[in-house]
Amino acid sequence: MRPGIFNPILHGKRLFQQFAVDTYIKIENSRLDYIWNNQDKIRADLYQGLMDSLHAGEGSADAIGKRTVLSTSFIGGPRDKRRRYMDAMALVRKYGKPDIFLTMTCNPNWDEIKRELYPGQTPQDRPDLVVRVFRVKLEELKNKLLHKDILGKVKAYVYVVEFQKRGLPHAHFLLIMEGRFKLTCPENSDPPAEDESDEVKCLRNSENSNMNKELPELFGMLKAAEIEIKKEHQVLMVNKTTSFKKQGKSKGKFKKGGKKAATPPMKPKNGPKPDAECY
């Protein structure tokens, strides 16, 4: 991405996506070729059932067969997936069940993405830019979770990065917190605002002020999200009230005593009666 130099790959839009997929397939095929031609170096005979068949007394070569073994270093292979699964289960066995399930999604309207797009491009046309920005923000989130302890002290964690159909990545975290930061009962969570006492409100305000001093960027993001949610809630309530009035549900009038008042008779409209003849 050198300024002033036209790059046809970055201007290819959907062809750029096809180019990225084809390049990844070429790299993966080269790795598979190496594993195929170097089975003796990775000692594949210890993985497959050849030695077991010989020890079992199988003498026919057709019944023994031969297969190619993918080691744990091949990302996406069955042994790689099993290794990751066993590592996650080992963490749960040692530190306990996860306490927090956290999801981070990629927003195509991030300023870091939009200001680097060429004229006429959309975020879907630049998967390289999207994944780079997402990677930087993911590392920043990990730093705040694990080192700055914005949600509490984390004892162990696992996470996975996935891609949606439109190409936007998102990450899922499982956090195992230390004992005093675990949410073991409903009382440990934040109480509703209307049930808080004056002492709790003062404590919460002091915590918010400390958070504003220590993490002003995160505090500003949370306040902006809170304002947007309140605006959407108000618009939703106004739309519901307007639609309810348009339906005309409440035509009867009620008095203070709770009894329904009699509706006054309708006055006849001016004009000839139905039986009268018009000349």
pLDDT, one tens digit per residue, over 174-232 is: 999 988 888 777 666 654 455 555 555 554 555 555 555 556 666 677 777 777 777 76
Asked if residue 65 is part of any domain, the answer here is no
The rounded distance, in Å, linking the Cα atoms of 127 and 167 is 7
Q: Are residues 166 and 210 in the same domain?
A: no
At residue 74, the pLDDT reads: 87
Asked if residue 279 is part of any domain, the answer here is no
Q: Are residues 158 and 208 in the same domain?
A: no
Asked if residue 200 is part of any domain, the answer here is yes
Asked if residue 153 is part of any domain, the answer here is yes
Using 50, 70 and 90 to split pLDDT, how confident is the model at 266? low
With beta carbons less than 8 A apart as the criterion, state whether 215 and 151 touch.
no
Q: Are residues 170 and 140 in the same domain?
A: yes
Selection from 88, 104, 85, 95 nearest residue 151 by Cα: 104
Asked if residue 13 is part of any domain, the answer here is no
Q: Are residues 96 and 149 in the same domain?
A: yes
Q: Are residues 142 and 120 in the same domain?
A: yes
> How much is the pTM?
0.60
Quickly count: other Cβ atoms within 10 Å of residue 80's Cβ: 15
At residue 132, the pLDDT reads: 93
Domain holding 106, by residue range, is: 75-186
Q: For every residue of 98-141, which 3-state class applies, written as one string?
A: CCEEEEEECCCCCHHHHCCCCCCCCHHHCHHHHHHHHHHHHHHH
63-74 burial, b if ≥16 CB within 10 A, otherwise e?
eeeeeebbeeeb
Q: Are residues 130 and 206 in the same domain?
A: no
The rounded distance, in Å, linking the Cα atoms of 110 and 130 is 9
State the total domains in the chain: 2
Asked if residue 48 is part of any domain, the answer here is no
Tokens of 86: 């066993």
Query: Residue 137: which residues within 8 A CB-CB, separation 6 or more?
Result: 104, 110
Q: Are residues 87 and 120 in the same domain?
A: yes
